[in-house]
Amino acid sequence: MGTAIFMVLMVCGYWYTSRDMSSRLKIKRSIGWDVYFLIALYGCIFVVQGVLATALVWLILLAASAANNTFALSADLHARWHVDFMTWSFLGIQAPVVIMLTFAVLFCVYRSNWAGSARLTAGSRKELYQRLSRSNGIEQMLLHCMEEGELAWITLKSRRIYIGMIHAATFEYANTANVVMIPMLSGYRDPRTLNLAVEHNYSRWYHKHDISFSSTPKSALEFRKVLMVSQIESLSLFDPASATALAMGKTVGKRRRYHQR
């Protein structure tokens, strides 16, 4: 009996976490034993709900037995249906356990497929991503860029640099977590000065050829870059005005030092 309860508990937990969007995103961010404990947690919730539903059935039978014995509703004047319910067995397993496990499975299937919370709307999906991204600086920054339309500065471990708009980001699987970017500038860091050396000016190309997100036959989406999160060294917002001011400040400082010499 204990094996049956444990098996149903783990199966319900796995079924729910693999179907529910919120739970699936949480479990993809878990590693090691955390995954098993999370699955067991959801399974315990459904088993407890099954226990409560079975207790409700017992209370209904108790009330029915009391009403029958009081008002003689049937030929059995000493009905003890609640006791029979507790002692009845099915395939060697007590009936309350079978009914409890059945309720647990039904609750799991309902919550995974038919419940309103299982179907996330655009607003609830956005709130979910915002809540889950609070513990991850990269996800929080990328979500901010996608919502506000701001440019992001991404530096890869190879010292390759991309500046552009974040189109999409996927973090469900650690091995394939990636960021889809519409590049505006690309280049590399100079090995000696670590300054940005621009190689490709995509924004100038877009403007010259009248390319936008909705243009035909080519759109800006055809120039998108897919960057693996594991290859990202740093991520920050990019403000052209601030970057120009900082660059001018460095140039002026160098000139002053040169004249002082």
Q: Confidence band (pLDDT; 50, 70, 90) for 75? A: low
Number of structural domains (the chain) is 2
Higher pLDDT, 30 or 45: 45
Residue 68 has pLDDT above 70, yes or no: yes
For 106-152, the pLDDT digits (tens) are: 999 888 876 555 555 555 656 666 666 666 777 778 887 887 888 89
pLDDT score, position 255: 43
The reply to whether 249 falls in a domain is no
Q: Answer yes or no: do 110 and 7 share one domain.
A: yes
The reply to whether 113 falls in a domain is yes
Q: Answer yes or no: do 130 and 224 share one domain.
A: yes
Q: Answer yes or no: do 177 and 106 share one domain.
A: no
The last residue of a domain, from among 118, 150, 167: 118
Q: Answer yes or no: do 108 and 130 share one domain.
A: no
Q: Are 101 and 50 in contact (CB under 8 A)?
A: yes
Higher pLDDT, 68 or 157: 157
Tokens for 97?
A: 């356990």
pLDDT score, position 249: 43
User: Which range in 47-51, 142-146, 174-178 is most confidently predicted, on average pLDDT?
Assistant: 47-51
pLDDT score, position 258: 41
pLDDT score, position 53: 92
Question: What mean pLDDT is predicted for residues 77-88?
Answer: 76
Domain containing 99: what range? 2-118
Q: Answer yes or no: do 96 and 134 share one domain.
A: no
Q: Answer yes or no: do 114 and 134 share one domain.
A: no
pLDDT score, position 124: 60
Q: Are 49 and 104 in contact (CB under 8 A)?
A: yes
> Mean pLDDT in the chain?
78
* SS3 of 164-229: EEEEEEECCCHHHCEEEEEEEEEEEECCCCCCEEEEEEHHHHHHHCCCCCCCCCCCHHHHCEEEEH
Q: Output the domain CATH number for residue 192.
A: 2.30.30.100
Across-strand partners of 198? Answer: 187
Q: Are 199 and 215 in contact (CB under 8 A)?
A: no
Tokens for 55?
A: 């207790």
Q: Answer yes or no: do 223 and 169 share one domain.
A: yes
Tokens for 52?
A: 């409560």
Q: Answer yes or no: do 6 and 108 share one domain.
A: yes
Give the CA angle between residues 208, 211, 214 to the nearest 5°: 160
| CA 188 to each of CA 154, 160, 191: distance values in angstroms, whole numbers, following the listed order | 11, 4, 9
- In the chain, the percentage of residues whose pLDDT exceeds 90 is 14
